[in-house]
Amino acid sequence: MNTSSQERLQLSPIVAGLWRLNGWGLDAAATVRWVEQALALGITSFDHADIYGGYRVEALFGDALAAAPGLRNRLQIVTKCGIQLVHPARPDTRVHSYDSSRAHILASVDNSLQALRTDRIDLLLLHRPDLLMDPDEVADTFRQLAAAGKVLHFGVSNHTPSQLALLHKRYPLVTNQVELSPLHMQALADGTLEQCVDLGLRPMIWSPLARGALFTSGSEQALRVRAVLDELAARRAVSPATVAYAWILRHPSRPRPITGSSRLQALEEAVAATALSLTAQEWYAVWQASMGHEVP
């Protein structure tokens, strides 16, 4: 397998997620300041999808890049395509569905490039598995986009190991973006992270704090996990959120967690986790609290 493209892709250990950008109430100037703050913390990668914010988030970020053109060469843009939403911005879509056809991918990339005010996407992901995917057509489309310089690297999101393997055999992918948190651990059990280790693909992790439920839910699982996180946080003199990020980073697949907040403190807590190494016993204490039982 050709791994040179993987080696050339440089994403930051923590990735800034933009899916809520349209709800942050930031104008272009304020978004520029937020991006500058993220860059100062070492967060250089920004995660998008064409559908975020009702197909609006990419354009909002593009407004910021247009207001400060020097930013583009200091950061990496990740975006996703393949989900078809029934939305006024896409009047031809009548059924919520997935589409990995050549025509849809090419059109999505062109739309994203225009919205983001850029000439290239650093990493394009297929957002969800398409049951009708023709892997040979997708691979050929990726080659076409790479040859045109429109997309530099490719990956998938929310794909099972077999779905990733089907495409990776035909075109070298660089990541699988999946959900993982101390409250949602399917990726640890279904072979997803083992495959990433085996293939040398660093996974990207969405909702590392379980959409905030890690610290707001009153479920028995969340209460058990919070108790362990609080204990470890007090022992290490960091925040519980930092411990949660460190728990993800501890996995040998070398995950890249994606934040989802505009708050500078939230970004700082995520970055602080890169300097915190949990022991195996600490990691398993969190796992046990989540599962509600000891390891078999």
Please state the separation of Cα 207 from the chain's center in Å. 8
The answer, as to whether pTM is greater than 0.85, is yes
Residue 296 and residue 294: Cα distance in Å, rounded?
6
pLDDT tens for residues 243-257? 999 999 999 999 999
The residue from 52, 55, 171, 245 that is catalytic is 52
Annotation says 245 is catalytic: no
Cα separation of 199 and 195, whole Å? 6
Domains by residue range for the chain, with CATH: 4-174 (3.20.20.100)
Judge contact between 256 and 11, C-beta under 8 A: yes
- pLDDT at position 8 is 78
User: Which residues of the chain fall below pLDDT 50?
Assistant: 1-7
d(CA 264, CA 56): 23
